[in-house]
């Protein structure tokens, strides 16, 4: 079993839908990162959080430390949100464990 | 513009022919790292560096070398590439002494070893 699990692996949505991507981890962490990888391959850091909730535009990330679970929500999804979303658990200062990603496709 | 620059974007080579993938950041970041990304496995750390002249192995260091002679540059060297090193490679950097700060990634290098 992977130490960081994401679900679903693939997700298809219609434009405007509310989207949730889940990340569960089995290790102790100091922070949880959410990353976005576009079809061209580049990776962008979306959030880094160690408790509670963060919001940036239409994106919201939450984390429940006790349940070892984090979610990434996208409100009013748009085709340009189509990408692979990756969560990464920071287990110590020099080590991240990455999930295998959730591929999201949003259709007009 | 603050960025991490990797070159080349695409590279096709043959087994055993030494190659270097360059990585440079202009943000004065102390911490830099190399990852490889393979289908179904996610990103895995190859090597990382916490400062100039300080490098350490990650999870999959075999077959790779790195150097950190200057703060801005962190090249990845494959002395004798093999087909199992065919992968998508990313360089990343971070400001602080821990990874408790946002990661900045390069655009990736897709390497094919035949």
Interchain contact A94–B (C-beta under 8 A): yes
By residue count, chain B amounts to: 114
Instruction: Give the residues of chain A that fall short of pLDDT 50.
Output: none
Per-residue model confidence as pLDDT tens digits over A18-42 = 999 999 999 889 899 999 999 877 8
Is B98's CB within 8 Å of A33's CB?
A: no
CA distance B76 to B57: 12
Residue A65 CB neighbour total at 10 angstroms = 13
Q: Which helix (H) or strand (E) holds B80?
A: none
> Tell me: the pLDDT tens digits for B5-41?
999 999 999 999 999 999 999 999 999 999 999 988 8
CB contact under 8 A, B99 and A96: yes
| Chain B positions in Cβ-Cβ contact with residue A85 (cut-off 8 Å) | none
Query: Is residue B99 scored above 70 in pLDDT?
Result: no
To the nearest 5 percent, what fractions of chain A are helix, strand and coil? 5, 60, 35
Residue B5's pLDDT is 96
Beta-strand pair B54-57/B76-78? unpaired
| Predicted pLDDT at B101 | 76
- How far is B73 from chain A, CA to nearest CA, in Å? 18
pLDDT of amino acid B100: 65
State residue B11's pLDDT score.
97
């Amino acid at each position: 079993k992977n130490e960081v699990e994401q679900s679903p692996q693939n997700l298809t949505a219609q434009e405007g839908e509310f989207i949730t991507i889940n990340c569960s981890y089995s290790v102790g962490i100091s922070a949880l990162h959410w990353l976005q990888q576009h079809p061209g391959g580049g990776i962008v850091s979306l959030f880094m959080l160690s408790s509670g909730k963060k919001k940036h535009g239409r994106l919201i990330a939450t984390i429940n430390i006790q349940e070892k679970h984090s979610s990434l929500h996208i409100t009013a999804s748009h085709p340009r949100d189509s990408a692979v979303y990756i969560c990464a658990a920071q287990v110590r200062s020099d080590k991240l464990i990455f999930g295998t990603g959730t591929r999201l496709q949003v259709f007009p | 513009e603050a960025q991490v620059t990797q070159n080349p974007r695409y590279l096709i080579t043959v087994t055993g022919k030494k190659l270097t993938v360059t990585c440079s950041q202009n943000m004065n970041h102390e911490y830099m790292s190399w990852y490889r990304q393979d289908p179904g496995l996610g990103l895995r750390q190859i090597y990382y560096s916490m400062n100039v002249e300080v490098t350490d192995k990650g999870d999959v260091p075999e077959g790779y070398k790195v150097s950190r002679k200057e703060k801005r540059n962190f090249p990845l060297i494959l002395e004798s590439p093999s087909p199992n090193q065919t992968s998508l490679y990313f360089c990343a950097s971070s400001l602080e002494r821990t990874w408790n700060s946002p990661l900045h990634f390069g655009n990736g290098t897709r390497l094919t070893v035949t």
